[in-house]
């Protein structure tokens, strides 16, 4: 994502927003996979921390993209539920 912003081409409308959502979903998938396979809670907490940073950054924008904020929030919820399941097993 940083490279996409750095090169700052004239991307099509909403390309960076869609790329951000895809990145969030990839982070969710990786975090869930690591939790299920290795039960590594610390890794999942780092992903939650990053998602909170994404939410904070987007809320500070003049016109935040709610789809990104909602996707990140739901991802945090899903990862948190998986952490609770790992802790209870």
> DSSP letters of 30-74?
HHHHHHHHH--HHHHHHHHHHHHHHHHHHHHSSS--HHHHHHHHH
CA distance 59 to 80: 21
pLDDT one-digit tens code per residue, 2-61? 888 788 888 887 998 999 999 999 999 999 999 999 999 999 999 999 999 999 999 999
Assign 78 a pLDDT band (cuts: 50, 70, 90). Answer: very high
């Amino acid at each position: 994502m940083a490279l996409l912003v750095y090169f700052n081409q004239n991307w099509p409308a909403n390309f960076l927003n869609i790329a951000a959502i895809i990145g969030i979903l990839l982070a969710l998938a990786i975090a869930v996979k690591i939790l299920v396979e290795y039960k590594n809670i610390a890794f999942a907490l780092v992903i939650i921390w990053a998602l909170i940073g994404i939410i904070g950054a987007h809320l500070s924008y003049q016109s935040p993209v709610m789809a990104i904020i909602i996707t990140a929030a739901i991802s945090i919820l899903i990862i948190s539920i998986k952490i609770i399941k790992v802790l209870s097993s």
